[in-house]
């Protein structure tokens, strides 16, 4: 079988020169194939009338009703983090998506935030298949229930769905001993094999950062790529591969229509020619699906009963926006780290900015509730304490600022210490001026460090926190969110703002 994917202009030129065209009008059949992708869908409800599962399900239903040749795909991250997932470990997202099931779902890194067993449970509870070509058991064997490339017959077309997960998941989440192969290399190889196996159209359903997205696009092994992970919206077409970055929380959706001509060349070999058409849907203009909205309303009522409890007032402005907590000292980060240190009596409090998730600001005078704290800390992480020499603490800080230019979640928020960093210096040599309790950090001195169980286990690249004497482990620690709520309630207010704990030597 010959697969030829050409620009529409080239098709018209060929037709005008040859008179009859590469595909005879009598022989050609045109099929409209629609692909709708979504990913990074955390919040069950809308955000000021935009996004949420009720609007997402309404769009999916409408697309399927308008075109039976529609593929609805999920490209990673729903079980966590969200306010409700802190209570049900993501079951709400399964219940909501089961109302309008995907054709295929790829596990994102956040599918493993509550461990692999929770993902396996949620996978079994799903009314749609989960798949990834690059995740195996530790011994390389397949994971029961997790599929690979899916070949579907759609409108007379053989469409291969190639599911690819993010290979950095072991660093950014808690997948246990599951093995993650290269996102780009494994995905490209699977796409090429699908083509050899007879696929007319190859669709990548991937969770990948921009760097891996670019590798996948450049390979030209895919006709279409639906990608999540970056929380942005984008569309592109280089004449060979269609690309959609699928936004977050279903705020903006972009169904892609492929007008596919199926024909035969002069030798009778099957030919496939197509052109893409992008559509943009702002879900603020979408009427929520009634059945889904009813379930959302039930979840909202359930949460309101327990979360709208006031715990204190902030006297200072707080800022948990993503670009702040992942790049600089923040009052919210100070509050959380202070609460962890106060609850444990540790010398140092250390947490990762990527674990702070509400992405909002609070004016001075705002009354804080349990909902606010749990929205900021939705992962269910536990405060732990370990004893470490200063040399490992320095290594941990170096890791924390090693990817600040990328907005990585490993950026440290601290208590009981101060430090400076130079983002222009090579990674691993950026940190200086480290002080603990007002005294210079001593490389051989042992300090008590309060951190979270995810970081202690090496998450976000914090391997330097391992190997010490663990004083409080995950089984005996408190939830970080509870430590923060207790800290605020005990004082009745938050008074500590940004006070110079972290100095960026490269800032103007």
Give pLDDT tens digits for 171-211: 888 899 999 999 999 999 999 999 999 999 999 999 999 99
- CA-CA distance, 430 to 419, in Å (whole number)? 10
User: What are the pLDDT digits (tens) for 103-157?
Assistant: 999 999 999 989 999 999 999 999 999 999 999 999 999 999 999 999 999 999 9
Sequence-separated (6 or more) residues with CB below 8 Å from residue 370? 306, 307, 308, 309, 311, 485
Whether the pLDDT of residue 2 is over 50: the answer is no
- Nearest C-alpha neighbor of 335 from the set 503, 502, 493: 493
Greater model confidence, 497 or 82: 497
User: What are the pLDDT digits (tens) for 270-316?
Assistant: 999 999 999 999 999 999 999 999 999 999 998 888 789 999 999 99
In the chain, the domains with their CATH numbers are: 27-297 (3.60.21.10), 308-504 (3.90.780.10)
Position 87 scores a pLDDT of 83
Q: In the block, which residue shows the tokens 């109302």? A: 99
Whether the pLDDT of residue 12 is over 90: the answer is no
Position 27 scores a pLDDT of 61
- CA-CA distance, 76 to 110, in Å (whole number)? 8
Position 28 scores a pLDDT of 81
Position 473 scores a pLDDT of 87
Whether the pLDDT of residue 8 is over 70: the answer is no
Taking each helix axis from N to C end, the angle separating 53-66 and 290-307, rounded to the nearest 10 degrees, works out to 170
In this prediction, residues 264-272 reach a mean pLDDT of: 92
In this prediction, residues 17-38 reach a mean pLDDT of: 69
Asked if 230 and 210 count as a contact pair (C-beta separation under 8 A), the reply is yes
């Amino acid at each position: 079988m010959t697969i030829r994917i050409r620009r529409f202009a080239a098709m018209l030129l060929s037709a005008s020169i040859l008179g009859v065209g590469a595909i005879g009008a009598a022989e050609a059949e045109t099929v409209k194939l629609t692909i709708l992708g979504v990913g990074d869908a955390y919040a069950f409800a809308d955000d000021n009338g935009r996004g949420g599962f009720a609007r997402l399900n309404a769009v999916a239903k409408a697309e399927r009703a308008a075109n039976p040749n529609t593929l609805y795909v999920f490209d990673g991250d729903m079980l966590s983090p969200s306010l409700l997932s802190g209570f049900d470990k993501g079951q709400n997202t399964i219940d909501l998506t089961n109302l309008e099931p995907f054709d295929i779902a790829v596990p994102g890194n956040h599918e493993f935030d509550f461990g692999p067993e929770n993902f396996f449970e949620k996978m079994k509870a799903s009314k749609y298949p989960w798949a990834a070509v690059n995740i195996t058991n530790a011994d390389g064997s397949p994971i029961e229930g997790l599929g690979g490339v899916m070949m579907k017959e759609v409108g007379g077309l053989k469409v291969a769905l190639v599911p690819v997960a993010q290979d950095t998941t072991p660093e950014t989440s808690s997948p246990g001993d599951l093995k993650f192969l290269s996102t780009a290399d494994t995905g490209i190889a699977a796409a090429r094999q699908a083509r050899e196996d007879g696929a007319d159209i190859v669709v990548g359903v991937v969770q990948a950062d921009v760097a891996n997205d670019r590798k996948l696009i450049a390979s030209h092994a895919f006709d279409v790529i639906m990608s999540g992970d970056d929380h942005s919206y984008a569309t592109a077409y280089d004449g060979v591969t269609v690309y959609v970055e699928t936004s977050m929380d279903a705020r903006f959706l972009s169904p892609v229509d492929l007008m596919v001509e199926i024909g035969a060349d002069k030798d009778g070999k099957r030919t496939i020619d197509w052109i893409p058409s992008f559509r943009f849907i702002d879900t603020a203009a979408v009427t929520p699906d009634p059945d889904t909205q009813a379930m959302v309303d039930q979840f909202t009522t359930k949460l309101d009963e327990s979360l709208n409890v006031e715990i204190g007032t902030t006297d200072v402005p707080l800022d948990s926006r993503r670009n702040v907590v992942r790049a600089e000292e923040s009052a919210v980060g100070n509050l959380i780290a202070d609460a962890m240190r106060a609850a444990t009596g540790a010398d140092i409090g250390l947490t990762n900015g990527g674990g702070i998730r509400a992405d909002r600001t609070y004016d001075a005078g705002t009354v804080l509730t349990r909902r606010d704290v749990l929205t900021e800390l939705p992962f269910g992480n536990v405060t732990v304490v370990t004893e470490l020499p200063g040399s490992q603490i320095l290594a941990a800080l170096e890791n924390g600022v090693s990817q600040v230019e990328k907005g990585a979640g490993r950026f440290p928020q601290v208590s009981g210490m101060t430090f400076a960093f130079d983002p222009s210096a090579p990674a691993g040599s950026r940190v200086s001026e480290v002080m603990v309790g007002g005294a210079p950090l001593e490389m051989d001195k042992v300090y008590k460090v309060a951190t979270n169980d995810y970081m202690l286990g090496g998450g976000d690249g914090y391997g330097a926190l391992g190997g010490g004497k663990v004083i409080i482990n995950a089984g005996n620690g408190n939830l970080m969110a509870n430590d923060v709520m207790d800290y605020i309630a005990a004082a009745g207010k938050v008074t500590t703002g940004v006070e110079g704990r972290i100095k960026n030597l490269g800032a103007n």
